[in-house]
Chain A
Amino acid sequence: MAAPEVLESDLPSAVALLKNLQEQGLSLLEVKDQLLLMYLMDLSHLILEKASGGSLQGHAAVLRLVEIRTVLEKLRPLDQKLKYQIDKLVKTAVTGSLSENDPLRFKPHPSNMMSKLSSEDEEEVEAEEGQSGASGKKSANGTVKKYVPPRLVPVHYDETEAEREKKRLDRAKRRALSSSVIRELKEQYSDAPEEIRDARHPHVTRQSQEDQHRINYEESMMVRLSVSKREKGRRKRANVMSSQLHSLTHFSDISALTGGTPHLDEDQNPIKKRKKIPKNSRKKKGFRRRR
């Protein structure tokens, strides 16, 4: 028979191929290829058996099929990881060049950032680049210059009177929404369970928080901070508020929501426009809270 001769002639080349394979290792794609082929062969063998009336019980091919199937499933995550690269390679092979919106096209070219000694070099390099204009950073700096930060374009300040008025109204609305009248209305009509808290006026809690912050800072930095007049006034007002029954009879102004004219209580100061005071009191760097 011709089979032994064929085998004999094929053997050296087979051995050489095997050696080659073993040196470099099998690639994932090759392994998958081989496994799929073996799977197909076993499957077709089984179909043949069944078609000719045999039983598949305990057939060796079934076990082989199961083994190949498990290996293929274990290879699936590896496949996932290589999917991107393989897809790209296939696309490049099919189309012949990179697609137009391929992000890799815009990779930086470090050679462009080096200093060019003569203009001839520049032309050569540009000819090499070839491609479209979207090719990386280009810098033609011969000498190392001092870093000058970029000047941002100044934007025109365009706040008109109407906008300022709108802002003021917005702020008044927000303040009105958090006033006690509205809060009580909300509680009345909402389905949420009623919360009972240690009810202090929000100014008072705010001031006590600030005091605590100040004390913590002073104790950790071992310095005494000076208290400005404004701070003193705020503190005094907060103390007074907690001792009086102020909130029983004085309600905050909700005219921003109802649309009426803003009115003030009799004992409150009239709304004054704030003067621009130069802020020289920023000496203690770390203390000011970033609001």
Chain B
Amino acid sequence: MNDTLTIWTKKFMTNRSLQWKQMVMDVLHPGKAMVPETEIWEKLAKMYKVTPDVTFLFGFRTHFSGGKTIGFGMIYDSLDYTKENEPKHRLARHGLYEKKETSRKQQKELKNRMKKARGLQRPMLCCQKERLQIHR
């Protein structure tokens, strides 16, 4: 942990209906490049006395000539609420969500085949691949 890392929080607001606390964060890191996210999680968690897995950060922009970065942070009330309310790409940064790696080309081909089929033929096409796998 860098000793010279300072975090100021501004515009703190509690959102009761979405169960989070949001704020604007000023990260001061004089003489260094921007620190990795994990360190800021821990620092924020210590400040607000929560675990680092409910802290989420985004939108960090470093000012010209370095030293200062401004971004946004959110602290959730509990892990269940984060799974409900947080967008998937941010959950993925914490490892709580895995994005499905489907081939884009295959998806488009399937879609075009489905356009040609009519009525109940469509779900047959959709499940065709899985059926083939099961049979094997």
Contacts and interface: CB of A to CB of B under 8 A. Distances in A.
Interface residues of B, number: 7
A223 B72 CA distance: 8
A220 interface: yes
A173 B22 CA distance: 50
Contacts of A146: none
Contacts of B59: 218, 222-224
Contacts, number: 12
Contacts of A5: none
A58 B11 CA distance: 80
Interface residues of A, number: 6
B10 interface: yes
A218 B70 CA distance: 11
A219 B11 CA distance: 8
B61 interface: yes
A212 to B, nearest CB: 14
B48 to A, nearest CB: 17
A220 B12 CA distance: 10
B17 to A, nearest CB: 15
B11 A220 contact: yes
A218 B60 CA distance: 12
B5 interface: no
Contacts of A223: 59
Of listed B11, B22, B72, residue having the most chain A CB within 10 A = B72
Contacts of B114: none
Interface string B43-82: 0000000000000000101000000000010000000000
B24 interface: yes
Given A224-B59, A224-B61, A219 B10 contact: yes
Interface of A: 218-220, 222-224
12 contacts: A218-B59, A219-B10, A219-B11, A219-B24, A220-B11, A222-B22, A222-B24, A222-B59, A222-B72, A223-B59, A224-B59, A224-B61
